[in-house]
Structure 1
Amino acid sequence: MSDRMTVAVYGAAGHTGRFVVAELKRRGHGVIRVGRDAARLQESIADDREGVWRVAAMDDAAQLDAALRGADAVINCAGPFLDTALPIVDAALRAGIPYLDVTAEQPALQQLVEQRDERAREAGVALVPAAAFYGGLADLLVTAAVDADVPIERIDIAIGLDSWHPTRGTRVAGERNRATRLIQRGGALTPLPLPAAEAAWSFPTPLGEMDVTMIPFTEVLTVSRHLRVDTIESWLAASALRDIRNPNTPPPEARDEQGRSAQQFVMDIVIEQGGATRRITAAGRDIYAVSAPIVVEAAERLASRRTTSKGGVVSLGAIFDAQDFLRALDTVKVERHPIAAPILAMKEAREMR
């Protein structure tokens, strides 16, 4: 296979899909834009002389098969993934190509594990849900920081956002996804205790101390799929949670030539393993935009066989060299920090009230 690949991007005309298309083209790859709305697809290729677009409805297998023809992989950027993942996965399995998506929806990932993992393993096709900011980035950070052969006592994943201006797709997915959120305790997935715990977290710069709420996304599932962990809890900045729950919060606004918003993020992870405590963080700008290089890097590595995957539903940390993958992400700053006692002490003290 040459270095150039062709990727079908479902939801290419959407907010995240446009970032993914731009990243693929920046790296010199071919793109097939796929979606349900012909007018939006045509508008998305207005300035692209080589633009290829194909319409495919979720309930039309023949259209999906035609849309993926000639592609080396498919990236699904169209939520709600509870509705879109299975039909596109089935088309990818028929085509014999890898499937990747950017979901933050726990039930969508579980659906793939329960209903398509065995079939994908038999076919030798990799299915990589949550290969993005939510799910994938935390999985890479944890995998890079731990000894995979040693059981892990506890992982706390704190997501600090200075704001969250949700896209229409995020809002629709939130309305569709009413499933009980899961954390991990005692080595098993368990429902999030309600009311959700509230705490404080001391993030590295530029965020500092923020109130957080226990709100797990797909990172709990991606990490627990391949690492032995007793407890995984995930926290989100309370101010960002208020933003996304407020129906009047506007969508993200482009603030640079790449179309990124001004949003700043810090993903801060504290790991307890074998009597030692480690802390690893990733910082950057715009959680939607930063998902593009993550999922495209994964697609490249799958296409070039730089992976241990033999098929099935897999996560980034399970099938790639996590440290090498993180080094390849030039839009994410990864650092290891010393442990300051108040990080966990403040969380525990707040929970006891």
Structure 2
Amino acid sequence: MALRWLIYGAYGYSGKLIAHQAKKRGYQPILAGRNEDTLEPVARHLNFQYKAFSLDSIDKVKQQLEDVDLVINCAGPFSQTAAPLIQACIDTKTHYLDITGEIDVFEYAHSMDKAAREAGIVICPGVGFDVIPTDCIAARLNAQMPEAEHLALGFDSGSRMSRGTAKTSIERLGRGGAARINGQITDVPHAWHSRWIDFGNGEKYAMTIPWGDVSTAYYTTEIPNIEVYIPASPRSVKKMRRMNWFRWVFNLRWVQAKLKKKLESQPAGPEEKERKNNPTYVWGEITDAKGNKKSMRVKVKNGYSLTAEGAVELAVHTLSQKQSGGFYTPSRLYGAKLLDQFTIQ
């Protein structure tokens, strides 16, 4: 079948990586984004068709999707772009994927499950590093201990964040952390919990962060208590905990604007050499009511490389396999075997 799909936000850092990965695999998606002056050179370089349009009017977005079977949304912050694109995709019966890591966006996407089922389309956010590897580990651990009550996930990488990821992180600073407690997503302080963890490259001190799996891993496993960790020095953990006393400052628009402006002078994201030299170590631990534990560790490709490959793989899978409509996590859409494509021995 002809694969008619579109990458929105194709001139951003991850959007470009996904477009190049599609080209490498012999596909020709349509590239799209708000700014035609920035979009056109990217499309010309790859010899792809393009469409320049904003998301201000859902009716106009629907017109642009009339000849499209699937959209990959790469335009963050997804808190601003996911809802209009998802609504337009439902109305035009177009599958929707994105590379978000934003908890609120995952929750919104899940709330559209019934509408997606009625439209016969797949809604699957998080088809990049957020949250493919952690989601697959959660699924595999849950298969080993289906009665588990607690799930901890985490990852470690020396790779720098892209500008887009950093900007999204700034938007969350004022709210603090997040965890799932007794089935409910709950705002918690920054660095709420800390512990020593061996992610696969030696034991390191780590703290909790508001990662997307707080939302998605619950829909994959139904485990009611979920936390996500990254390495952080004891000094950094203390600093984050002190920040809790004045984190409300980061909700001020001018503070967020100032912090985001500082990022503009930084590179868009890690170059190819840095990505190749910085794989990611991913860890998971599951616990039942009796205190029995099982853990899993894998080394995978750099998060941004994984995002590019994972987004294309799930787009092709969605278009080439008959799917029932509804909300999916990556491991529910493809199966936990998806992880094997990105594992490094």
2:339 counterpart letter in structure 1: L
> Does structure 1 conserve the Cα–Cα contact (< 8 Å) formed by 2:218 and 2:224?
no
Q: Does 2:92 correspond to 1:75?
A: no
Look up the match of 1:10.
8
- For 1:204 and 1:148, the matched residues in 2 are separated by 20
Report percent identity of matched pairs.
23
> Does structure 2 conserve the Cα–Cα contact (< 8 Å) formed by 1:150 and 1:274?
no
Look up the match of 1:217.
211
Look up the match of 2:196.
200
Superposition map of 1:249-260 within 5 A:
250-251=266-267, 252-256=269-273, 260=275
Look up the match of 2:104.
107
Aligned-pair CA distance for 1:232: 1.2
RMSD: 2.8
Aligned length: 318
Change (3 A) 1:53 1:93: same
Look up the match of 2:171.
176
Aligned-pair CA distance for 1:199: 2.5
Aligned-pair CA distance for 1:179: 4.3
Q: Does 2:336 correspond to 1:314?
A: no
- For 1:238 and 1:130, the matched residues in 2 are separated by 24
Deviations 1:132-155 (A, max 9, x none): 212232111221233288321221
SS at match of 1:289: helix
Q: Does 2:293 correspond to 1:295?
A: no
> Does structure 1 conserve the Cα–Cα contact (< 8 Å) formed by 2:176 and 2:189?
no
> Does structure 1 conserve the Cα–Cα contact (< 8 Å) formed by 2:12 and 2:75?
yes
> Does structure 1 conserve the Cα–Cα contact (< 8 Å) formed by 2:135 and 2:220?
no
> Does structure 2 conserve the Cα–Cα contact (< 8 Å) formed by 1:253 and 1:261?
no
Look up the match of 2:287.
272
Q: Does 2:228 correspond to 1:234?
A: yes
> Does structure 2 conserve the Cα–Cα contact (< 8 Å) formed by 1:34 and 1:67?
no
> Does structure 2 conserve the Cα–Cα contact (< 8 Å) formed by 1:151 and 1:228?
no
Q: TM-score, normalised by structure 1?
A: 0.80
SS at match of 1:13: coil
SS at match of 2:79: helix
Q: TM-score, normalised by structure 2?
A: 0.82
2:306 counterpart letter in structure 1: V
- For 1:170 and 1:200, the matched residues in 2 are separated by 25
Deviations 1:266-301 (A, max 9, x none): 111122258653222232343122112222222222
SS at match of 1:45: helix
- For 2:218 and 2:332, the matched residues in 1 are separated by 10
Aligned match for 1:166, one of 161, 167, 179 = 161
- For 2:315 and 2:148, the matched residues in 1 are separated by 29
Aligned-pair CA distance for 1:194: 5.0
Aligned-pair CA distance for 1:318: 2.3
Q: Does 2:154 correspond to 1:139?
A: no
- For 1:55 and 1:179, the matched residues in 2 are separated by 34
2:326 counterpart letter in structure 1: G
SS at match of 1:8: strand
Superposition map of 1:26-175 within 5 A:
26-49=24-47, 51-114=48-111, 116-147=112-143, 150-163=146-159, 165-175=160-170
Moved over 6 A (4+): 239-242
Unaligned runs of 5+ in 1: 335-353
- For 2:92 and 2:144, the matched residues in 1 are separated by 33
> Does structure 1 conserve the Cα–Cα contact (< 8 Å) formed by 2:142 and 2:221?
no
1:278 counterpart letter in structure 2: K
Deviations 1:20-58 (A, max 9, x none): 112222222221000011111112123223x11111101
Aligned-pair CA distance for 1:16: 0.4
> Does structure 2 conserve the Cα–Cα contact (< 8 Å) formed by 1:23 and 1:293?
yes
> Does structure 1 conserve the Cα–Cα contact (< 8 Å) formed by 2:199 and 2:297?
no
Question: Which of the two has greater helix per residue?
Answer: 2
> Does structure 2 conserve the Cα–Cα contact (< 8 Å) formed by 1:148 and 1:227?
no
Aligned-pair CA distance for 1:321: 2.2
